[in-house]
């Protein structure tokens, strides 16, 4: 299995889905928006984009399984594609150009390739096992920021699971007081991609799903960053919590997270 070839062809497949989303965005109306649950929305564009991705990825790696946002009934195999056809749907339905497509390939519990398309600047972030991470053909690295006071972090806001809100706000207060600022893009895939290329010095959030983060984790790691869960463990894909940093600031941030959580 040639992972470089698979990854580059995955970029081509993702570009098909991106073109479909751009074309259909002009036709989207309020009647096309459905609530899957509280504050969690889906459109026919999400669903059709996912079908397109699944169809093409199935041909790229025959016999592979899927972990996909819009169709939980899909069968899982030893090799699984983890697919988010439109990460940032709330942004999308409000006409904000900050949304992503995220596709990862997992072998067992290990992510072995990842592709993120960020629509705002039409950028492709990608990598595969043992390779550098790339942004539009150029190798990227995480930032070299050494002090929290000089850092810029990204996060997300809970929209359905408020069980940890009090502690989360305590961490938010610490970050406001000890960094240059915190940004919320509304797409975790882009948060991770921008951490990988050094625009952010790190990203943290809870309440996320595998399709939100799988591709981003390998892109950050292969760009020299560090990724873990809130306990400094490795359960960041299925554990619904993630911390990703440039590595230099990791220990200081994790010390505060351990103290709070």
Average pLDDT, the chain: 94
What pLDDT is stored for residue 30 in this prediction?
A: 73
Burial of 3 (0-12, 13-18, 19+ CB in 10 A): middle
Both 115 and 214 in one domain: the answer is no
Both 189 and 160 in one domain: the answer is yes
Which residue, 89, 119, 140, sits at the end of a domain? 140
- CATH number, domain at 100? 3.30.540.10
What pLDDT is stored for residue 43 in this prediction?
A: 85
Domain of 132, in residue numbers: 3-140
User: Which of 136-140, 147-151, 154-158 comes out lowest in average pLDDT?
Assistant: 154-158
Both 117 and 167 in one domain: the answer is no
Tally of domains within the chain: 2
Neighbours of 95 (CB within 10 A): 8
* Residues with Cβ within 8 Å of residue 97, at least 6 apart in sequence: 91, 119, 120
Q: What confidence tens digit (pLDDT) does each residue in 157-215 have?
A: 887 888 999 999 999 999 999 999 999 999 999 999 999 999 999 999 999 999 999 99
What pLDDT is stored for residue 26 in this prediction?
A: 80
Both 134 and 15 in one domain: the answer is yes
Both 213 and 187 in one domain: the answer is yes
- CATH number, domain at 187? 3.40.190.80
Q: What confidence tens digit (pLDDT) does each residue in 85-117 have?
A: 999 999 999 999 999 999 999 999 999 999 999
Kindly state the percentage of the chain with pLDDT values over 90.
84
Look at residues 99, 125, 90, 106 and name the one whose alpha carbon lies nearest to residue 11. Answer: 125
CA dihedral 249, 169, 96, 142 (to 10 degrees): 10
For the whole model, what pTM was predicted? Answer: 0.94
Both 23 and 136 in one domain: the answer is yes
- Whether the per-residue pLDDT at 39 is higher than 70: the answer is no
């Amino acid at each position: 299995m040639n992972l470089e070839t698979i990854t580059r062809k995955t970029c081509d497949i993702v570009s098909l889905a991106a073109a479909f989303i751009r074309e259909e965005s002009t036709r989207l109306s309020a009647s096309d928006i459905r609530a899957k649950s509280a504050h969690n929305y889906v459109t026919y564009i999400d669903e059709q984009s996912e079908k397109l991705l699944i169809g093409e990825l199935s041909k790229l790696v025959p016999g592979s399984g899927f972990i996909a946002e819009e169709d939980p009934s899909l069968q899982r195999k030893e090799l699984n594609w983890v697919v988010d056809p439109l990460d940032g749907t709330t942004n999308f339905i409000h006409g904000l150009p900050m949304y992503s497509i995220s596709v990862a390939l997992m072998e067992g519990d290990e992510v072995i390739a990842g592709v993120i398309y960020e629509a705002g600047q039409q950028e492709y972030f990608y990598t595969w096992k043992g390779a550098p991470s790339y942004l539009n053909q150029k190798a990227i690295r995480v930032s070299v920021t050494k002090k929290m006071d000089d850092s810029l972090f990204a996060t997300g806001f809970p929209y359905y699971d408020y069980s940890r809100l009090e502690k989360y706000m305590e961490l938010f207060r610490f970050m406001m007081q000890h960094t240059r600022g915190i940004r919320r893009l509304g797409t975790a895939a882009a948060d991770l991609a921008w951490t990988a290329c050094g625009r952010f010095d790190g990203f943290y959030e809870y309440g996320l799903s595998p399709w939100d983060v799988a591709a981003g984790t390998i892109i950050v790691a292969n760009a020299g960053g560090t990724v873990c869960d809130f306990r400094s463990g490795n359960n960041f894909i299925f554990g619904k919590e993630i911390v990703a940093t440039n590595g230099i600031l990791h220990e200081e941030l994790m010390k505060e997270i351990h103290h709070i959580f």
